[in-house]
């Protein structure tokens, strides 16, 4: 689960188990960084092109862009969460703060 919101938005809460890569950094993160640099910068191992990854943002718009970028780069098992943070927060009514 990849959160593509901006850091200020992430500070308001995240979906549990999500990792954060801002949309503006996604292309470089997937293309330019070595696996080692990716893990050092983002705190998790880069997902392989054939592994599942689900993108979300605040409303679904940026996650759809992230999904399209990843597909164009050859990632075959990517999806986006259309309702994203707004839907998840409404369903849980208890945002989880990032620790």
The catalytic site residues sit at 57
Give the β-pairing of 19-20 and 53-56: unpaired
Q: In what order do the strands lie in the sheet with 78-80?
A: 19-20, 2-3, 53-56, 78-80
Q: At 24, is the secondary structure helix, strand, or coil? A: helix
């Amino acid at each position: 689960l990849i959160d593509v919101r901006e850091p200020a938005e992430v500070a308001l809460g995240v979906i549990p188990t999500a990792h954060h890569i801002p949309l503006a950094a996604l292309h470089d993160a997937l293309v330019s960084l070595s696996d080692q640099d990716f893990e050092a910068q983002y705190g998790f191992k880069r997902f392989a092109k054939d592994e599942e990854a689900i993108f979300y943002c605040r409303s679904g718009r940026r996650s759809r862009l992230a999904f399209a970028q990843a597909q164009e780069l050859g990632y075959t098992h990517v999806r986006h969460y259309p309702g994203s943070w707004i839907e998840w927060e409404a369903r849980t009514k208890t945002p989880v703060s990032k620790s």
